[in-house]
Amino acid sequence: MEKYENLPAADAALDITDAVCPITFVRAKAALEEMEAGAVLALRMNDGEPVQNVPRSVKEEGHRILKLADNEDGTYTLFVRKVEEA
């Protein structure tokens, strides 16, 4: 499938399509806290508020957004690299 080409390799994946904001970010933050620095998390989320808010919130936490991929089914996958904690 072409839409999945050139995506970062994820060390872990989390599907938060069943959650609503702000729970989406809370679950993403908890997943990132359990990961080692440098690891990549793939977050599958719904279009709308999650796509608008989760990337911004993750970035504010200091993590690096690698890619936001449109899954073409009303969901997106956000690839995030965990940064080393200060």
Q: What is the pLDDT of residues 1-27, one digit of tens each?
A: 334 456 668 888 888 888 776 677 788
23 is annotated as an active-site residue: no
CATH of domain 2-81: 3.30.110.40
- Determine what percent of the chain falls in helix, strand and coil, rounding each to the nearest 5: 30, 30, 40
Q: Domain residues of the chain, as ranges?
A: 2-81
In 1-86, at which residue ranges do the beta strands (DSSP E only) sit? 12-15, 40-46, 64-70, 75-81
pTM for this prediction: 0.84
* pLDDT, tens digit, 9 for 90 and up, residues 43-79: 999 998 888 888 998 999 999 999 999 999 999 999 9
Given this model, what pLDDT does residue 78 score? Answer: 94
Distance of CA 55 to the CA centre of its chain: 7
Active-site pick, 7, 10, 19, 21: 21
